[in-house]
Structure 1
Amino acid sequence: MGLIRFLILLALAYVAYLLWRRFKAARAESRRHDAPEPERMVRCAQCQLHLPENLALYQDGKWYCCSEHRDVDQRT
């Protein structure tokens, strides 16, 4: 009788372990999907400063950090 109880407990522990692993994998997967995409960085053609693309100015195939650098580069 003791061996049967031991085997049942062992089987229950194994099922609990499998459920725990599945839960942890699902949680890790959801964290990966919630993470934002990294922003693309560009370099100013005038001063070589790196900044996010959404903050930069683009003109004639070049990126600039501000309108002053864009205007200086256009004059030369």
Structure 2
Amino acid sequence: MGLIKLIFLALLVWFALRLWRGLQRQQATQRQQQSARAQQEPPLMVRCAQCQVHLPQSSALRANDNWYCCAEHRDEHQQR
């Protein structure tokens, strides 16, 4: 009777390890796919309302409905 319990316990541990490894593999694949998608998407570009230079939106400053490359250009354009 003890041998059957030992075999059952070993099978249970083996199944749990297989399940855990499968989940880890799936998560790694999802992370790789997400990073590949992020690398393929170009950054959104905006144009400075003062000097007309294009720059990534993440680097630009926004005031009202306009985008600016720096605080000086924002201030100069708003004084007009």
Quick check: TM above 0.5? Answer: yes
| Equivalent of residue 70 in structure 1, options 60, 74, 78 | 74
Higher relative helix content: 2
Deviation digits for residues 9-48 of structure 1, max 9, x if unmatched? xxxxxxxxxxxxxxxxxxxxx77x7142210000000000
Query: How many residues of Structure 1 are paired with residues of Structure 2 in the alignment?
Result: 47
- Cα RMSD, aligned residues only: 2.0
Q: Which runs of 5+ in 1 are unaligned?
A: 1-29
* Percent identical: 52
Instruction: Detail structure 1 runs of 4+ shifted over 4 Å in the superposition.
Output: none
TM-score (normalizing by structure 2): 0.53
Which residue does 2:21 correspond to in 1? none
Q: Is 1:52 paired with 2:56?
A: yes
